[in-house]
């Protein structure tokens, strides 16, 4: 469970990006965070794995008080929380399989790290993750030879191999064409349903958010202005979230 209670986030320059956020997300939910550019979506997501520090309030992930973690404890938290980025963050000149294997490096002894000596079990886990994402046939292909959608699947496989309980995705489909973006959303849906992983996605495509996520959190100027089932989101609610600029948002995507 993820629980924000009275969370404020003020950046060093004094800008307040999150105001009094109360939000509870249960294990296995698929949540889309929507709102105008600059509303605070990325900030909200990145506080969960301590990429950003909160300024006040409390943020719990299961029984862990995220703001109290230090050094190694933060790394342990991040092992439980996978992160997917718009830019995939893959190593472009190595194969899909090697990219997935990289996820095991933090837990390897020093001498194995130096020589890149992965165990048979790790290789099997990596291949299983690629298989789950239907991209096993590209295991030995360099990722710079894959399409954007295929690269995002490799990134998802790398995250899955860590066996996280939560996946945070910061605009994971922003750089993809509409067909591929839909496919990647289906991949998230599959992971969510089959593995009961919590998925929290920051997304500009309102239609994809409503179709694939089960819950929508609408943010406006750092405040939650809607939180409910995606099936209950009306045009009026969207206008409220987007501060009357819904048409602009839709035409920009
Ligand atoms: N490091 C920072 N220092 C100061 N202000 C920041 C910093 N990072 C973000 N902000 C500001 O905080 C606000 C929220 O930013 P955030 O990136 O969370 O918005 P967003 O809703 O994800 O926007 P987008 O959809 O454009 O990515 C913005 O006004 C942004 O300019």
- In total, the chain counts a number of residues equal to 253
What is the C-alpha separation between 222 and 117, in angstroms, rounded?
A: 46
Rounded to the nearest angstrom, the distance between the alpha carbon of 45 and the centre of ligand 1 is 11
CATH no. of 2-252: 3.40.50.300
Tokens representing residue 13 in the block: 């320059």
Query: Does 11 contact ligand 1 (Cβ within 6 A)?
Result: yes
Atom of ligand 1 nearest to the CA of 46: 18
Atom of ligand 1 nearest to the CA of 45: 18
DSSP 8-class letter at 93: T
Q: What is the pLDDT along the chain (253 residues), one digit of tens a residue?
A: 999 999 999 999 999 999 999 999 999 999 999 999 999 999 999 999 999 999 999 999 999 999 999 988 998 899 899 999 888 889 999 999 999 998 887 776 677 766 677 889 999 999 999 999 999 999 999 999 999 999 999 999 999 999 999 999 999 998 889 998 999 999 999 999 999 999 999 999 999 999 999 999 999 999 999 999 999 999 999 999 998 777 777 777 6
Mutate to test the pocket of ligand 1, among 33, 35, 36, 38 (most ligand atoms within 8 A of CB): 38
Rounded to the nearest angstrom, the distance between the alpha carbon of 146 and the centre of ligand 1 is 31
Query: Does 53 contact ligand 1 (Cβ within 6 A)?
Result: no
Q: Are 41 and 220 in contact (CB under 8 A)?
A: no
Query: Does 35 contact ligand 1 (Cβ within 6 A)?
Result: yes
Burial of 80 (C-beta count, 10 Å sphere; 0-12/13-18/19+) = middle
- One-character DSSP codes across 163-218: --SEEEEESTTTTS-HHHHHHHHHHHHHHHHHH--EEEEE-S-HHHHHHH-SEEEE
Mutate to test the pocket of ligand 1, among 8, 41, 45, 217 (most ligand atoms within 8 A of CB): 41
What is the C-alpha separation between 83 and 164, in angstroms, rounded?
A: 10
Q: Name the residue ranges covered by the structural domains of the chain.
A: 2-252
Query: Does 218 contact ligand 1 (Cβ within 6 A)?
Result: no
Quote the longest CA-to-CA distance of the chain: 59
Q: Are 216 and 202 in contact (CB under 8 A)?
A: no
Nearest CA to ligand 1 atom 14: 40
Query: Does 15 contact ligand 1 (Cβ within 6 A)?
Result: yes
- How many of the other CB atoms lie within 10 Å of CB of 241? 24
Token pair 């342990």: residue: 76
Rounded to the nearest angstrom, the distance between the alpha carbon of 87 and the centre of ligand 1 is 17
pTM comes to 0.92
Task: Identify the helix (H) or strand (E) that includes residue 226.
Answer: strand 223-229
């Amino acid at each position: 469970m993820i629980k924000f209670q009275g969370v404020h986030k003020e950046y060093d320059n004094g800008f307040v990006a999150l105001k009094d956020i109360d939000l509870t997300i249960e294990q296995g939910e698929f949540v889309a965070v929507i709102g105008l550019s600059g509303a605070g979506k990325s900030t909200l997501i990145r506080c969960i794995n301590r990429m950003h520090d909160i300024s006040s309030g409390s943020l719990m992930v299961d029984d862990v008080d995220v703001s109290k973690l230090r050094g190694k404890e933060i790394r342990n938290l991040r092992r439980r929380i996978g992160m997917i980025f718009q830019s995939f963050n893959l190593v472009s000149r190595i194969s899909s399989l090697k990219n997935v294997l990289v996820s095991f490096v933090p837990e390897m002894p020093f001498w194995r790290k130096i020589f890149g000596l992965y165990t048979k079990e790790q290789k099997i886990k990596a291949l299983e993750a690629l298989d789950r994402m239907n991209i096993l046939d590209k295991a030995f292909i360099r990722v710079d030879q894959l399409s954007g959608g295929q690269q995002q699947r490799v990134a998802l496989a790398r995250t899955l191999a860590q066996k996280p309980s939560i996946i945070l995705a910061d605009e994971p489909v922003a750089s993809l064409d509409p067909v591929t973006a839909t496919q990647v959303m289906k991949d998230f849906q599959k992971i969510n349903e089959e593995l009961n992983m919590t998925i929290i996605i920051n997304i500009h495509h309102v239609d994809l958010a409503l179709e694939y996520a089960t819950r929508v959190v609408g943010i406006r100027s750092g405040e939650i202005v809607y939180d409910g089932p995606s099936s209950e989101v009306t045009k009026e609610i969207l206008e409220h979230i987007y501060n009357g600029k819904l048409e602009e948002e839709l035409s920009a995507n």
